[in-house]
Structure 1
Amino acid sequence: MTDEEWEQLPPLEAGCMRAVQTLVIGGGIVGLACALRLQAAGQQVLLIERERLAAGASRGNAGALAFSDVLPLASPGILRQAPRWLLDPLGPLSLRPTYAPAMLPWLWQFWRASQPARVAASTQAQAALLAQSAAEWPALLRLAGAQDQLHDGGNLHLYDSEAQWRAAQASWAQRAEYGIAFQNLEGADALAALQPGLNPALRHGVFVPHWQTVDDPLRLCHSLAQAFVARGGRLARAEAQTLLRESRGLMLQLADGSLLLAQRVLLCAGPWSHRLAASLGERFPLEAERGYNTTLPPGAFPLQRQLTFPGHGFVVTPIAGGVRVGGAVEFAGLEAAPNYARADAMLARARRFLPGLRTEGGTQWMGCRPSLPDSLPVIGPSPADDRLFYAFGHGHLGLTQAAATARLAADWVLAQGRPPAAFAPSRFL
């Protein structure tokens, strides 16, 4: 389903009340994956989205299935690097001064989650979820008829210096404990064998062979939606406003005054999810990690695979025949205007590392990743009402973890199991 087809969908009839079996709120990759998986399990599903399919981070992300990213962002290493990064307003991490007071509670919880015992538990939970997602993605792609959209090129992490590369070895050793395969590389020739055209000053890297990418995350979302509709699923443009508990089910009031009565509801609205959860009195420390990128047209650079520059917080990815340069983190809330100077800065750095990169003709983008302070998503039934299932807060790993989240949601609906306690909403409530 393309953007044009989405725009032709009629909105739900204003002022009426409709009854549905299973309602999914949110048309990003997590919501679409859940809807398709539930439908395959025999559920009658309605998915509503207030803007358009894949309107947020699902539209413009780097397209990676990053199964090796088992280490949470909340960690002592990030705490040590954050002050240096924050000194650069266009660096990998930025906090707008006017937003700093609103961020203090989240930052406090992030600091607590970065203590060694908490990090160890979060890493174990993250690794288990990623392993489950790696096992579930092939089946989800088959449901969507999108097997040809996945590629096995691996990922090449590139380091500015030998000191930076050696400092990263501890984190790679941690990944190895969870079965993550990688290969250390030294010398410009070793790097050029995997990616010609690099700046010869780059002489140290790590290659991750089991890293996968998709052609285009937006195309993948559209494929999931198309398969969902073809099997009888319903999509609708509607803005969810308030959830109410009733004996007959969960009542959702829409912005136009219409009502939806559902036997069960899955809340998958990304960085906006906490606002709807608050209508039931459940408050989550969810923040928007704003990311930026520039997508360059075909011919910009002969990119062989995804490249990651850990010291600079960005990646370079083959997307839809072109090249996407993006990443970094900005905390400024959901409503602040984009600062595309951040995208420009990443593009300039990419040009330094890839001297042959043609930077003209690009399209800039900004999207918000839903981020919780312990770097783990919320996946599980609401403590207030177990007819409501939360599935949000995946941070940088929404695309990667969508298949596992969908399976956990289906198991809950079919009463075949509950998600692991590490992702329970009650940890914040």
Structure 2
Amino acid sequence: MTTTTRPADPTSPADLVVIGAGVIGLSVANAALSRGLTVRVIDRTGPASGASAGNAGGFAFSEIHPLASPDTLLASPKWLLDPLGPLSIPARYAPSIVPWMLRFAKASLPGRVAASTRAQAALMGHAKKTLEPFMALTGTAAMLRKTGQIQVLESARAFDAARRECEEAGHFGYGHRTLVGADAIAEVQPGLSPRFTHGIATEEWWAIADPKLYTLALAEALIRKGGWIDTAEARAVETGLEGAAIHLADGSTITASRVVIAAGAHSHRLAASLGDRIPLETERGYNTTLPPGAFDLRRHITFSEHGFVAAPLSTGIRIGGAVELGGLDLPPNYARARAMLKKAAGFMPGLKTEGGTEWMGFRPSLPDTLPAIGRASHARNVIYAFGHGHLGLTQSAATADLVADLLTGATPAIDLSPFAPDRFKGLI
């Protein structure tokens, strides 16, 4: 699939310019176009060239629990001892991330975790409600797979913790089924190592055939219906009585009545040009995508104690995940992708590990695990939509609907105060 663009007429400002052509930006653009706005998208490298291209392809609606939690804080010291484990911080980057980690620790206090969980559950409920109508709108419904997910665990302790989280998710309408013993797991997903003695199956955990192809299809839907996309790097946004001006890296400027900043891990730099200091950090994720047929993978598998997943895509088997808090500028450490693939080969006997393609991408993450969805502090015609972390694909249709409400003066379907971009003011 290829994406074509048509040149914009620089003398005719759009109602809306969306900065970012990942799954969030293109979802917002399509939703705004459906509400009657003229829409232009700009992206520094083009559609589906960032994290939207290489994620695991899951709509993880039941994942309502924030990464910022007491359990994560307790596990972090052990994880950090393994440079190729589920969580790592390169030594060169450690001093830079201290303020973010302090905010993360504050967000892990029990009261804040409870509030974040409620907010995430509300956003996830809206995500599930809006996804299929949005896919019908964009002609992408055939790419949806309702195959479910299985989380597999080796210890009874880890199983009990995971089960408690699933039971809490059950209060928000997400069911699950526990699996005890290798035979019970094999009935759901054959071929796994017998070391996994416990599992939890979640049916309301959907998937996309391939996240890059889906994002490119959103780009094509936008163009087909009259929107346009340009490859251009935004360096700053300025607002005034006439609307907004976006200053580009080549020295030119484009204008619009309204702007949405959905530039993923680069978004905080644009927000800073508007006077908003938002503590966005980059979770660098790694994966290896193996050719189709590398394993008889029937649904997503989450190896919870090891921090990675195996995902069945139309284009192959993707092994990836983990978190490397390393910013935007350090070179990739593909040893992390290879470490996960080596583990996967042990966990999935028979996995054909040859012929894979390695990838690294930047997940934009805020300390409390919630995205920023709302207006800029000093510019009501600029809306932020970024910081979704691991859940950008999952929450893309919901974010698009909520942002379209803000753009058109409608009342958003859920309370947006927990996602306010200025919620970190006054914190460390």
For normalisation by structure 2, the TM-score amounts to: 0.96
Distance of 2:161 and 2:26 partners within structure 1: 39
Q: SS at the partner of 1:52?
A: coil
Q: SS at the partner of 2:33?
A: helix
Answer yes or no: is 1:170 the counterpart of 2:164.
yes
Map Cα deviations across residues 390-415 of structure 1 (whole Å, 9 max, x no partner): 00000000000001100001111110
Q: Which runs of 5+ in 1 are unaligned?
A: none
Distance of 1:271 and 1:254 partners within structure 2: 18
Match of 2:84 in 1: 90
Instruction: Check the 8 A contact 1:25/1:48 in 2, yes or no.
Output: yes
User: Which of 411, 414, 424 is the aligned partner of 2:420?
Assistant: 424
Moved over 4 A (4+): none
Answer yes or no: is 1:370 the counterpart of 2:364.
yes
Distance of 2:327 and 2:145 partners within structure 1: 34
Instruction: Check the 8 A contact 2:287/2:360 in 1, yes or no.
Output: yes
Distance of 1:321 and 1:276 partners within structure 2: 34
Structure 2 letter corresponding to 1:238:
A
Distance of 2:260 and 2:212 partners within structure 1: 22
Q: CA deviation at 1:17?
A: 6.3
Instruction: Check the 8 A contact 2:176/2:202 in 1, yes or no.
Output: yes
Equivalent positions of 1:399-418 (< 5 A) are: 399-418=393-412
Map Cα deviations across residues 30-73 of structure 1 (whole Å, 9 max, x no partner): 00000000001100000011102111110000000000000000
Structure 2 letter corresponding to 1:97:
A
Equivalent positions of 1:19-34 (< 5 A) are: 19-34=13-28
Q: CA deviation at 1:202?
A: 1.7
Match of 2:145 in 1: 151
Q: CA deviation at 1:320?
A: 2.0
Distance of 2:293 and 2:261 partners within structure 1: 40
User: Which of 277, 282, 290 is the aligned partner of 1:288?
Assistant: 282
Q: Percent identity?
A: 48
Q: CA deviation at 1:383?
A: 1.5
RMSD over aligned CA atoms reads 1.4
Structure 2 letter corresponding to 1:178:
F
User: Which of 42, 49, 65 is the aligned partner of 2:43?
Assistant: 49
Q: CA deviation at 1:167?
A: 3.3
Q: How many residue pairs get matched?
A: 423
Instruction: Check the 8 A contact 1:239/1:254 in 2, yes or no.
Output: yes
Map Cα deviations across residues 249-290 of structure 1 (whole Å, 9 max, x no partner): 111111111111111000000010000111111111000000
Answer yes or no: is 1:205 the counterpart of 2:220.
no
Instruction: Decide which moves more: 178-187 or 34-43.
Output: 178-187
User: Which of 83, 94, 98 is the aligned partner of 1:100?
Assistant: 94
Structure 1 letter corresponding to 2:417:
A
Instruction: Check the 8 A contact 2:22/2:47 in 1, yes or no.
Output: yes
Q: Which runs of 5+ in 2 are unaligned?
A: none
Instruction: Decide which moves more: 46-55 or 17-26.
Output: 17-26
Instruction: Check the 8 A contact 1:49/1:239 in 2, yes or no.
Output: yes
Distance of 1:321 and 1:383 partners within structure 2: 42
Instruction: Check the 8 A contact 2:46/2:230 in 1, yes or no.
Output: no
User: Which of 207, 229, 232 is the aligned partner of 1:238?
Assistant: 232
Distance of 1:422 and 1:379 partners within structure 2: 9
User: Which of 255, 260, 263 is the aligned partner of 1:266?
Assistant: 260
Match of 1:314 in 2: 308
Match of 1:39 in 2: 33
Q: SS at the partner of 2:93?
A: helix
Distance of 1:17 and 1:426 partners within structure 2: 34
Map Cα deviations across residues 326-370 of structure 1 (whole Å, 9 max, x no partner): 000001110111000000000011111101100000000000000
Q: SS at the partner of 1:74?
A: coil
Distance of 2:101 and 2:76 partners within structure 1: 12
Distance of 1:425 and 1:198 partners within structure 2: 43
For normalisation by structure 1, the TM-score amounts to: 0.96
User: Which of 228, 233, 256 is the aligned partner of 2:250?
Assistant: 256
Instruction: Check the 8 A contact 1:20/1:260 in 2, yes or no.
Output: no
Instruction: Check the 8 A contact 1:91/1:328 in 2, yes or no.
Output: yes
Instruction: Check the 8 A contact 2:85/2:322 in 1, yes or no.
Output: yes
Structure 2 letter corresponding to 1:398:
G
Distance of 1:137 and 1:262 partners within structure 2: 28
Structure 1 letter corresponding to 2:423:
R
Map Cα deviations across residues 179-207 of structure 1 (whole Å, 9 max, x no partner): 22001101111111111111122221000
Distance of 1:130 and 1:282 partners within structure 2: 26
Instruction: Decide which moves more: 50-59 or 397-406.
Output: 50-59
Distance of 1:291 and 1:343 partners within structure 2: 9
Distance of 1:272 and 1:259 partners within structure 2: 19
Answer yes or no: is 1:276 the counterpart of 2:267.
no
User: Which of 128, 133, 137 is the aligned partner of 2:131?
Assistant: 137
Distance of 2:45 and 2:171 partners within structure 1: 42
